[in-house]
Amino acid sequence: MAEKRLRIVEGRLNEWRVAARQVLNVLALGPRSNEKYKREVADNLNRILLKLEQVQQVHYINCSFPAIEAQAPDFEMLSWDSLSSSSWFVRWSPSWSVEVSLGYVALARVSTARAMQRARMAYCTLLLCSSKRP
């Protein structure tokens, strides 16, 4: 009986994990968002590099941030205190790359990035937080 209940709870937890992964991938990591991130990264990187004394010119910055559903972040719940407080372990290894040319021979390319992070999330819905809104 207890094993059956455990499987049911694990199944529901996995459903939430899959839903969170899909929502994040659609809202925060979809093609439209990634285009915005590419522009922001390129603009900020250009500004930062030009502040360096050794860099006199940035020839180009090429960012590739493809939106690939199979590379969406994966979540594992570590603890659940309440609806407004939970801890998660997040794994993410996107196939994003950034190329920067600082001169005729200088070329830097970053093509492997991985993120593994523990995150503590606290959120509330409008119903729960309506009394705290200004």
Model pLDDT for residues 29-55, shown as the tens digit of each residue: 888 888 999 999 999 999 998 888 878
Q: Please choose, from the candidates 92, 130, 82, the residue with its C-alpha nearest in 3D space to the C-alpha of residue 112.
A: 92
Encoding tokens for residue 129?
Answer: 């937080």
Query: Has this prediction a pTM greater than 0.85?
Result: no
Q: Torsion angle, CA of 10/124/88/12, rounded to 10 degrees?
A: 10
Gap between the Cα atoms of 89 and 22, Å rounded: 16
Q: What does the pLDDT average to over 77-97?
A: 80
Q: Please choose, from the candidates 86, 71, 70, 69, the residue with its C-alpha nearest in 3D space to the C-alpha of residue 16.
A: 86
> Does the structure show a pLDDT above 50 at 114?
yes
Beta bridge partners of 63: 98
